[in-house]
Structure 1
């Protein structure tokens, strides 16, 4: 009897361990664009990532036949603060103890199975983001938003479909910090709004695929007008290349098969990290405002 293949509602791979493939794949893809000396460092990482994560810079430079500053320069070329930040992320990525799980939910799964798989998929995506995220890109994005806020310029969040709700959440997060911003998911409004942006303004564009035409149009107009564009989207996508700052949000689910779940949670997480970084830059003056807001909201609740 032929074995029945169960349909899946979540595009997935079987259980495996995350071995830093996302980080190493990024290095492999960047090889051709690196300077020859930096390519030698990259090949050293790819040959033995665990050894690279634990060896001192002097020995790394000797093994790659480059200078110590070249090793540091390579790490910065890959979007990290420096060697220490790169090695920390690399060590976390190749750790045998960090499970990377993305498993399919099948039609005959029990409620307990669905619970475990959905939660495991989300947790795995968060761990992968923690290990692969570029702190340099996050700092640039936080500084751009803070500078726009200080200058009294416009901050806007654009998203379409599922990402439109994330844009609304972002606006909610930032307005509580006293950062005046708007969010829109309508393509026509985005184009009109982007047309009004200029130097000093900032647009944060959120997309799962990074290929939505309306968002690409808004990004192009915003950039031509001299405003800063920040993309929260998949690596290698047209939107990532079109914006000034790219906050990578990569995950294994197939966005073309169903309404994304992990991507939405991942985008919300990136927004939370970004909002926290901006709050720290605003400084202690924010605390009394947040406390007053909390006290004013008490009247809206039953005792």
Structure 2
């Protein structure tokens, strides 16, 4: 049953103020998807806490999660593209849907993150002798981006998307090395095998993956991303954004954990990179002041 059907069925069981929220959504569901909680509350003539209560009555975690379920109800999705996009959507429509879906999904992921696990991962990374990032397919792009971030730090970093090279790295790893494996599904056989191989060689293995997956079970520490995206059918979109955002948080934690002296080193790296770029004003038109 989709969210619109749930609202229609549950409407008569709601309180008077919650029914106002239901009616506002049923009258203009597309507008509700693009509304803030304040805007929807004003449209329905209720308070923001009432909107939140309504969302929980619909068995969602809150307003962002509710909007995600509502968006999924309005578009069955175009196979192999996106759950949020309909075959006949205009440029404006599918662009807005992708952005709205991404923002709602990222907020849902944020609410389910295990902060203790993230803190432990930052501990491992900040004490590592060497850090390696591996992924395959769409996750390989995320692993490569992670390498670019951590290359700015004063710790050896390695990346490869070649499974043979990945296996050799795990065989040659040892105590003090941290391996970060990135896989949305956590069901890619090679990633699970790499986790076991690395742990057999005393590497610390962090998995960025989905809950209850084989990779999450095999890793020494799992950072679980509850992303509502079926990448077996649709192009990986939100899952990739969630992985990138989590890696930004890990990189930030790494710099903070290393202290002020380390940030001075990072400043020197930034200054060296700046020298390789053209000055911002170099190519301004002659008539520009």
Taking structure 1 as the reference length, the TM-score comes to 0.66
Counterparts of 2:65 and 2:237 in 1: how far apart (Å)? 21
2:207 is paired with a residue whose SS is strand
RMSD value, Cα: 2.2
Structure 2 CA distance for partners of 1:277 and 1:114, relative to 1, 3 Å:
same
1:15–1:100 CA contact under 8 A, matched in 2: no
Counterparts of 2:219 and 2:111 in 1: how far apart (Å)? 23
Partner of 2:251: 275
Q: 1:108 offset after TM fit, Å?
A: 0.8
Counterparts of 1:269 and 1:173 in 2: how far apart (Å)? 12
Deviations 1:57-90 (A, max 9, x none): xxxxxxxxxxxxxxxxxxxxxxxxxxxxxxxxxx
Q: 1:293 offset after TM fit, Å?
A: 2.5
Partner of 1:252: 228
* Structure 1 consecutive aligned stretches of length 4 or more whose deviation exceeds 3 Å: 13-17, 93-100
Structure 2 CA distance for partners of 1:187 and 1:253, relative to 1, 3 Å:
same
1:16–1:99 CA contact under 8 A, matched in 2: no
- The partner residue of 1:123 within 80, 93, 103 is 103
- The partner residue of 2:190 within 190, 203, 214 is 214
Query: 1:83-122, aligned counterparts within 5 Å?
Result: 94-96=61-63, 99-101=66-68, 102-103=71-72, 104-122=84-102
1:231 is the counterpart of 2:203: no
Counterparts of 1:238 and 1:97 in 2: how far apart (Å)? 29
Taking structure 2 as the reference length, the TM-score comes to 0.69
Counterparts of 1:286 and 1:154 in 2: how far apart (Å)? 16
1:136 is the counterpart of 2:112: no
- How many pairs are equivalent? 213
Where do 5+ consecutive residues of structure 1 fail to align?
1-12, 18-92
Query: Which structure: larger Rg?
Result: 2
1:159–1:167 CA contact under 8 A, matched in 2: yes
Deviations 1:125-155 (A, max 9, x none): 211122110011001111011111xxxx221
Where do 5+ consecutive residues of structure 2 fail to align?
7-59, 73-83, 280-289
Counterparts of 2:3 and 2:230 in 1: how far apart (Å)? 14
